[in-house]
Amino acid sequence: MKINQATIFPLSIPLIEPIKMAKELIVDAKTVLLCLTDEEGRQGWGEASVAPLMTGETLDSLLASLKYLVEKARSIEWSDPNLFAKSSDAVLYGNPSAKSCLEMALLDLYTQKHSISLWKYLRSLNTGAVLTELTEIPLLRMIGGAPEKEMADAKSFREAGFKHWKIKIGSLSLEEDLRRVQLLSDLLEGDIISVDANGAMSLDDALHFCISPQARKLSFAEQLISADSSVNDFALLKARSPIAIGLDESIHGSAEIMELMKANALNGASLKLIKTGGVMEAWSCAQILRKNNLQLNLACKVAETSLSGAATASIGFAVGDVPWGFSMSNQYLRFDICDQPLTAQRGHLYLAQLNATGVGVTPNMDRVKDAVAQGYSIIQY
Ligand SMILES: [Mg+2]
């Protein structure tokens, strides 16, 4: 498979409402789409969002590295998806988001060419035990904002069928966060409720948080302490916490999962394509988690469109179990770039939405062009 043409779209899509994390306030999705055309005229799409605090990539740096990769990609014969990442690594160090964007577009082309949907292709690579068939993946809904608003949102989304929740913590005092967590846990009792501090807590605060009675109804706590913490600190936190410990910013691929698993430092992990450098490595990570009875959360960066959502969900449908839910972030966008965006139905994403060959969704070129970020332009090769 050869690349004849490539077009890069730097996009900015406003969020329905700003999302406050421990260390940043997000008001729009800065995301990059890539459209590749192969020698037979097929088009394949990829996407990656900027995440300065997670991958170190900004819109400008993501565009620069993607342009560089795409220029090199044109002279490469792309025949085996298992080698896509290796080929990208051979021309550029680091930059996992740019590599994920390119790999997604290549996989979209490859799976279209072989008339198979991406999730089925991934499943065909499984050599282990027979995998469970999934028809739906539970979506994880983020809640935050003023106290009355987060309670009202939790109520209305629960009525809409959501049963997986994430409470962003770490920007208020520990006592305030604990109070919020207790109120929301009482309201949502019986559901899978999690918190995510994005690494903002000290180890002492994290331990205090986990053993506090207000937090006892939580199903898991994600990345309470900084990814820079020692493995010993993570192991200590997990050993002393009555709540399951999930890791996100600490995990960029299978090597870190293996290391933290050996140290008994996690109960599960959150996988994002921009961290793993693409679908194939995320798929390997998901299999490692499953084989070792660790929990899986799949996530898009806040926020990515249906395209990245479909590629990420494909891993869940392929592996057959997403116990900690899927953070499908297009639900926070004011608009999407597909004519038929992925949608939540009773709080779930249904497999029927991903039956098409390839990644499963196709952006509408006009919508994509309308979303180009101010001050940026479309780049064509
Ligand atoms: Mg997280």
Interval between CA 246 and ligand 1 midpoint (Å): 9
Tell me if domain 3-115+363-380 and domain 121-354 are identical in fold: no
- Residue 188 Cα, ligand 1 centroid: separation in angstroms? 20
**From ligand 1's centre to the CA of 300, what distance in Å?**
10
**328: DSSP letter:** -
Dist. CA 169 → ligand 1 center (Å): 11
Q: How many A from CA of 65 to the centre of ligand 1?
A: 25
CA 56 to CA 313: how far, in whole Å?
Answer: 24
CA of 166 to the centre of ligand 1 (A): 9
Instruction: Tell me, in angstroms, the distance from the centre of ligand 1 to residue 6's CA.
Output: 32
Q: What is the DSSP string of 163-222?
A: -EEEEE-SSS-HHHHHHHHHHHHHHTTTSEEEEE-TT-B-HHHHHHHHHSGGGTT-SEEE
Measured between alpha carbons, how far is 13 from 28 in angstroms, rounded to an integer? Answer: 5
In the chain, what are the domain boundaries?
Answer: 3-115+363-380, 121-354
Is residue 338 within 8 A of residue 363, CB to CB? The reply is yes
Rounded to the nearest angstrom, the distance between the alpha carbon of 269 and the centre of ligand 1 is 9
CA 4 – ligand 1 centroid, Å: 37
CA 141 to ligand 1 center in whole angstroms: 12
Interacting residues of 360 by C-beta distance below 8 A, sequence separation 6+: 117, 118, 119, 310, 313, 314, 353, 354
Q: Give the model's pLDDT for residue 56.
A: 87
User: Would you tell me how many other CB atoms lie within 10 Å of the CB of residue 315?
Assistant: 28
The pLDDT of residue 11 is: 97
Rounded Cα distance, 239 and 234, in Å: 9
Taking the centre of ligand 1 as the mean of its atom positions, its distance from the CA of residue 194, in whole angstroms, is 10
> Residues 35, 3: contact at Cβ < 8 Å?
no
Tell how far the Cα of 7 is from the centroid of ligand 1, in angstroms: 30
Q: Calculate how far, in angstroms, residue 5's C-alpha sits from the geometric centre of ligand 1.
A: 35
38 Cα to the center of ligand 1, angstroms = 35
pTM over the 0.85 mark? yes
Measured in Å, residue 196 CA sits from the centre of ligand 1 at 6
Instruction: For residue 83, count other CB atoms closer than 10 A to its CB.
Output: 13
Architecture, CATH, for domain 121-354 = Alpha-Beta Barrel (3.20)
Any idea what the Cα angle at residue 313 is, between residues 322 and 339, rounded to 5°?
A: 145
Distance 50 CA to ligand 1 centre (A): 15
Whole-angstrom CA distances from 251 to 149, 177, 241, 275 are 32, 25, 20, 7
Quote the CA–CA distance of 275 and 253 in Å, as a whole number. 7
d(CA 365, CA 378): 12
Report the SS3 class of residue 24.
coil
What is the Å distance from ligand 1's center to 195 Cα? Answer: 9
Distance 10 CA to ligand 1 centre (A): 24
Average pLDDT by consecutive 10-residue portion of the chain (381 residues)? Answer: 97 90 82 97 97 89 97 95 97 96 98 98 92 95 90 97 96 96 97 97 98 98 98 98 97 97 98 97 97 97 94 97 96 94 97 96 96 96 88
Å from CA of 176 to ligand 1 middle: 20
Q: How far is the CA of 113 from the centre of ligand 1 (A)?
A: 35
Q: Tokens 């929740």 — which residue?
A: 165
Q: How far is the CA of 3 from the centre of ligand 1 (A)?
A: 34
140 Cα to the center of ligand 1, angstroms: 12
Distance CA 214, CA 343 (A): 33
How close is the Cα of 270 to the center of ligand 1, in Å? 7
Pick the CATH number of 3-115+363-380 from 3.30.390.10, 3.40.50.620, 3.90.180.10, 3.90.650.10: 3.30.390.10
Please state, in angstroms and rounded to a whole number, the distance separating the CA atoms of residues 43 and 361.
12
